[in-house]
Every structure is written in structure tokens, then in C-alpha cells.
């Protein structure tokens, strides 16, 4: 199955953790780094911090371009996605226990867009879909 111009076989370990509660799936020493990424990306993209907080509460019905760019920024800084919207599967699976990798891969595949989008829309679509499924391995949000 060909996944449009964004699947470089490197999806987010974040895929399992998502945008705000990223620290749940990452070693403790990474908690501060992820917080730093989120804050840097708020500054860089001019995303509204209140909207970022709403994501943690499960409100993904927002259609805000700076927030979508924030999602891409955090994924890029975490090394899970390229600036062009290519998921880095190997990096994503690095934090997933071997016994969960097949399950996680199927979840990732089901959330990758089936058509091409601009990179921030790819990141948004993916994170929104993955978050909706309430995964146990979820990073960034």
C-alpha cells in the first residue's frame, strides 16, 4: 500500500504518545526536553497556548492553522516527522516495547493520510486520528 509522499518508514514514537502528554511514553529525562519543544513551537508558530491546552482535554475540533503548524513543529523537533511531513517510523517504534510494535504499526498506518496534504495538515490529521483512538502509547499531547 503506497502512502502518499509522507511515509519514509519513520513514524512517530510520538505517535504513541502525542502532543501534550508526550512525557508519558518517553524516558523521564526527556520530559523537560519535550516541554521545551512545545514552548518553543508555541513561540515559533504563534499558536494560541489555550488551544494547545484544549488538545490535552480532547478537543480536536479546532481548525486553526497556527495550531496545526505547532503540531508539525513539535513532531519535527522530536524527530518523528520531517519538515516535509514524512513520518519516521523507525524513530517512532524505538520507544515501543517489542510486544506492542505490530499493534502500534497498524494504528499508525490507519492514521496516515491517504492523500497528499501540506506538511502541517499531515501532522494534524495523523495526531487527531491517533488521539481519537485513545492509544496507550501516546506522546505529545
Burial pattern 14-46, b for ≥16 Cβ within 10 A else e, equals: bbbbbbbbbbbbbeeebeeebeebbeebbeebe
Does 2 map to a domain? no
Q: How confident is the model at residue 133 (pLDDT cuts 50, 70, 90)?
A: low
Does 78 map to a domain? yes
Does 139 map to a domain? no
Does 141 map to a domain? no
Domain residue limits at 41? 7-132
State the total domains in the chain. 1
Q: Tens digit of pLDDT for each residue in 41-91?
A: 999 999 999 999 998 888 888 999 999 999 999 999 989 899 999 999 888
Does 63 map to a domain? yes
Does 121 map to a domain? yes
Q: What is the CATH number of the domain that holds 58?
A: 1.10.238.20
Amino acid at each position: 500500500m503506497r502512502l502518499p509522499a509522507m511515509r519514509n518508514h519513520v513514524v512517530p514514537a510520538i505517535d504513541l504518545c502525542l502532543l501534550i502528554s508526550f512525557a508519558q511514553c518517553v524516558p523521564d529525562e526527556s520530559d523537560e526536553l519535550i516541554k521545551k519543544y512545545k514552548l518553543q513551537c508555541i513561540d515559533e508558530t504563534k499558536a494560541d497556548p489555550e488551544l494547545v491546552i484544549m488538545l490535552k482535554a480532547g478537543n480536536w475540533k479546532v481548525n486553526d492553522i497556527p495550531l496545526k503548524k505547532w503540531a508539525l513543529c513539535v513532531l519535527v523537533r522530536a524527530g518523528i516527522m520531517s519538515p516535509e511531513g514524512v513520518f519516521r517510523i523507525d524513530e517512532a517504534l524505538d520507544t515501543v516495547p517489542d510486544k506492542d510494535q505490530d499493534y502500534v504499526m497498524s494504528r499508525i498506518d490507519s492514521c496516515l493520510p491517504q492523500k497528499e496534504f501540506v506538511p502541517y495538515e499531515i501532522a494534524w490529521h495523523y495526531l487527531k486520528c491517533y488521539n481519537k483512538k485513545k492509544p496507550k502509547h501516546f506522546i505529545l499531547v
